Amino acid sequence: MSEYNFAYLDEQTKRMIRRAILKGLAVPGYQVPFASREMPMPYGWGTGGVQVSAATLTPEDTFKVIDQGADDTTNAVSIRKFFENTAGVAVTEETEKATVIQTRHRIPEAELTEDQILVYQVPIPEPLRFLEPRETETRKMHSLEEYGLMHVKLYEDISQHGDIATSYAYPVMVQDRYVMDPSPIPKFDNPKLEMSAIQLFGAGREQRIYAVPPHTKVVSLDFEDYPFEATKADHACDLCGAENSYLDEVILDDAGNRMFVCSDTDYCRSRRAAGHVGRLGTEDAA
Amino acid sequence: MYVAVKGGERAIENAHAWLAEERRGDTSVAELSIAQIREQLSLAVNRVMAEGSLFDPDLAALAIKQSRGDLIEAIFLIRAYRTTLPRFGASLPVETGDMACDRRISATFKDAPGGQVLGPTFDYTHRLLDFKLAAEGEVAPAAEGTPREEATPHITEFLQGEDVIQREPVGEAVPGDLTREPMEFPADRALRLQSLTRGDEGFILGMAYSTQRGYARNHAFVGELRIGKVAVEMEIPELGFAIEIGELELTECETVNQFQGSKTEPPQFTRGYGLVFGQSERKSIAMALVDRALRWEELGEDNLGAVAQDEEFVLSHSDNIQATGFLEHIKLPHYVDFQSELELVRKLRREAEERTAGYQEAAE
């Protein structure tokens, strides 16, 4: 591919995005406006993550893309192919081998290292958006650290449902300063937000980039008497037997039979390769 | 035995091949050429150029062909292409006063220098299906006149001479560029107009219509509507003067709106402005109405709480490429999020049932 610059975007644009990334890293959890470009895939389909990846990738990188934890979902395939074509970088499905991982809706089960960058696709970067639709207002609320509305929302959840009724995109407080939307990851993944890798969040349509540097304090919002709880289906993976991984529920037939499988396909594959077998797995399933 | 679904890659390739076949349709029917689309579907081409923000009829026609006539898809193709183009400079502002007008009408004066020129308009056609078009045939030649030599002055200039219409401030500032800087609110008028001219025609039309029906009503007269070609000029630093580098077809609409005056302003008419690539009459009138509605603050009017007055609402939702992408992304898998919602609903239901059972026991 010679018609396009390395990783599609021109160098000026990448520089502009890198500046936003650096600012984001310097002010963890703060949403940095950036002049998002039209990409050759639709807004809402990962254009923010794609632009951040494009500005982050170097020719030596090994790239992995997951959607819902899986490498083989159609949009993950499409984005991986885009960078194979435009950047010519090596790609992998193995979490450990990747240097840059673009993700939608999950954090990999395997612990990431300081040599890795995790790029999130973000649909609505503003954690206060559904409480206050106006950007002019929410920016003011962040600058004044005025997060009372969010606590009232969580409190109302408890008084109405007996629980905090947010199961994904669960808001977090970053380094005691900014309330941040961790993108629509299940709240099961929230504890993993404190990690050794660099985490970058890109929202293309909403023109925002934000970041969590390695080892930054990230606390899921809660109350003393209603502490945050990372939940998942109360099962083990039916293929690899893992009891600590986030599970997808698969409907097997019209008699109501279901099975539960790891949402992180690479994690499941590597466990099966190591000889772990679940309820419905066979040893050669991998 | 369950096997994880693989083969997304092959499925995508097959879908693309099928799409290409469907796009072509029945191969016993002659294929459309780009020139045919450009010449015979020119209003579709104009809309794609306007909302794609790129004046290139051939590329717009290609995009329409590739998108099977889905104009928003075609606009998307043009936008994605446009963003890769290098920028080598900015033109001078185009002089719409020097426009070679194909059409020029005013609803405020029966006649004015330059006259009323209907041009190639659907107005006053009776909307009866013309079955003759189903058969191929030659079109009878239209009568020809002599084009006007002099420039056609803007109607609003006459009103300005009498000082009954508000004067626009003259500024030296370089207008912002919403394709290069993230939009921030409040946006100035230049940015608002940029956003409106590339905004979705249907959305802008709906917003404009709402003002006519009383949501921030501000009765608009079409002071002038003109369609025609203007020269694009650019300063070349090596030459030290401006040269003509091309020609654009534009539709310009200036509305003259009622104004009662305010504490600071004597009664005078105010303006709304629409300027759109190509022959895009509906869009430019709608744009002018929405522009006027968004100016309530600078003109000292009341905020009536109407959506068309709400800059953040209008500008954040007018772009059909953003809107359609986000709308359609809900087709993508969301099973991780759905699973967590499913677990939560099951848990809440379990707890609710336990509570109900507890009440019943207590009552018994």
Strand order of the β-sheet with A218-220 is A178-180, A172-174, A218-220
Q: Does A135 touch chain B (CB under 8 A)?
A: yes
CB-nearest to A77 from B12, B80, B337 is B12
A256 is known as an active-site residue: no
Secondary-structure breakdown of chain B: helix, strand, coil percentages, each rounded to the nearest 5: 45, 15, 45
| The two three-digit tokens of residue B301, written as one number | 């009017």
Closest residue in A to B314 (Cα–Cα) = A134
Per-residue pLDDT tens digits for A58-107: 999 999 999 999 999 889 999 999 999 999 999 999 999 999 999 999 99
Chain B hits for A163, CB-CB cut-off 8 Å, are 344, 347-348, 351
Rounded Cα distance between A92 and A87, Å, is: 14
Q: Which of A29, A69, A204, A278 is catalytic?
A: A29
Q: Nearest Cα to A120, choosing from A73, A62, A70, A182?
A: A182
Chain A hits for B11, CB-CB cut-off 8 Å, are 74
| The two three-digit tokens of residue A283, written as one number | 């040893």
Residue B342: CB atoms within 10 Å: 14
C-beta of residue A235 within 8 angstroms of C-beta of residue A62: no
pTM confidence score? 0.91
Chain B closest-CA separation from residue A42 CA (Å): 5
Q: Nearest Cα to B75, choosing from B193, B168, B197?
A: B197
Q: Nearest Cα to B153, choosing from B195, B114, B201?
A: B114
Give the number of beta-carbon pairs within 8 Å between A and B: 150
Rounded Cα distance between B9 and B59, Å, is: 29
DSSP code for B133: G
* Cβ contact, residue pair B341, A42, below 8 Å: no
* Cβ contact, residue pair B4, A161, below 8 Å: no
Q: Give residues with Cβ within 8 angstroms of A47, minimum separation 6.
A: A36, A39, A41, A202, A204, A205, B325
Chain B hits for A184, CB-CB cut-off 8 Å, are 334, 336-337
Residue type present at position A141: M
Rounded Cα distance between A282 and A196, Å, is: 35
CB-nearest to A44 from B1, B329, B333 is B329
Q: Which of A49, A69, A202, A262 is catalytic?
A: A262
Give, for A270, the enclosing helix (H) or strand (E): helix A265-273
Task: Report the pLDDT value the prediction gives residue B4, as an integer from 0 to 100.
Answer: 45
Task: Tell me what percent of the residues of chain B surpass a pLDDT of 70.
Answer: 97
Which residue, among B12, B84, B181, would best test binding to A if mutated, counting the most A CBs under 10 Å from its CB? B84
Give the 3-state secondary structure of residue B271.
strand
Residue type present at position B281: E
Terminal-residue alpha carbon distance, chain B: 49
Chain A hits for B6, CB-CB cut-off 8 Å, are 72
Residue A149: CB atoms within 10 Å: 13
Task: Report the pLDDT value the prediction gives residue A226, as an integer from 0 to 100.
Answer: 93
Q: Nearest Cα to B293, choosing from B189, B184, B160, B177?
A: B189
How confident is the model over B4-20, as a mean pLDDT? 82
Lowest mean pLDDT among B62-71, B144-153, B225-234, B236-245: B144-153
> Using only C-alpha atoms, what is the Rg of chain B?
27
A48 is known as an active-site residue: no
| The two three-digit tokens of residue B33, written as one number | 């050429």
CB-nearest to A205 from B179, B322, B334 is B322
Per-residue pLDDT tens digits for B288-332: 999 999 999 988 888 999 999 999 999 999 999 999 999 999 999
Closest residue in B to A134 (Cα–Cα) = B312
Q: Please count the CA atoms within 13 angstroms of the CA of A150 that sit on its side-chain side.
A: 23
Residue B2 predicted with pLDDT over 80: no
Which residue, among A10, A19, A74, would best test binding to B if mutated, counting the most B CBs under 10 Å from its CB? A74
Give, for B214, the enclosing helix (H) or strand (E): none
Give, for B282, the enclosing helix (H) or strand (E): helix B281-294
CB-nearest to B336 from A47, A105, A265 is A105
Q: Does A105 touch chain B (CB under 8 A)?
A: yes
* Sequential pLDDT tens for chain A (286 residues): 457 789 999 999 999 999 999 999 999 999 999 999 999 999 999 999 999 999 999 999 999 999 999 999 889 999 999 999 999 999 999 999 999 999 999 999 999 999 999 999 999 999 999 999 999 999 999 999 999 999 999 999 999 888 898 999 999 999 999 999 999 999 999 999 999 999 999 999 999 999 999 999 999 999 999 999 998 889 999 999 999 999 999 999 999 899 999 999 999 999 999 999 999 877 554 4
Task: Report the pLDDT value the prediction gives residue A161, as an integer from 0 to 100.
Answer: 86
Give the 3-state secondary structure of residue B357.
helix
Terminal-residue alpha carbon distance, chain A: 34
Task: Report the pLDDT value the prediction gives residue A285, as an integer from 0 to 100.
Answer: 44
C-beta of residue B312 within 8 angstroms of C-beta of residue B294: no
Sign of CA pseudo-dihedral A266, A267, A268, A271: positive
Rounded Cα distance between B313 and B325, Å, is: 18
Chain A contacts in chain B segment 335-364 (CB below 8 A): 335-337, 339-344, 347-348, 351
A262 is known as an active-site residue: yes
Chain B hits for A37, CB-CB cut-off 8 Å, are 83
Surface-to-core class of residue A10, CB atoms within 10 Å of its CB (0-12 exposed, 13-18 middle, 19+ buried): middle
The domains found in chain A, sorted by start residue, are 11-127+135-220 (3.40.50.11310), 231-279 (no CATH)
Q: Does B219 touch chain A (CB under 8 A)?
A: no
Rounded Cα distance between B258 and A123, Å, is: 42
Chain B closest-CA separation from residue A48 CA (Å): 12
**Chain-wide mean pLDDT for chain A?**
94
Rounded Cα distance between B56 and B239, Å, is: 27
Confidence class for position B7, pLDDT limits 50, 70, 90 = low
* Cβ contact, residue pair B182, A135, below 8 Å: no
* Cβ contact, residue pair A68, B326, below 8 Å: no
Chain A hits for B75, CB-CB cut-off 8 Å, are none
Task: Report the pLDDT value the prediction gives residue A286, as an integer from 0 to 100.
Answer: 42
How far does CA B272 lie from the centroid of its chain? 16
* Cβ contact, residue pair B4, A239, below 8 Å: yes
C-beta of residue B257 within 8 angstroms of C-beta of residue B270: yes
Give the 3-state secondary structure of residue A195.
coil
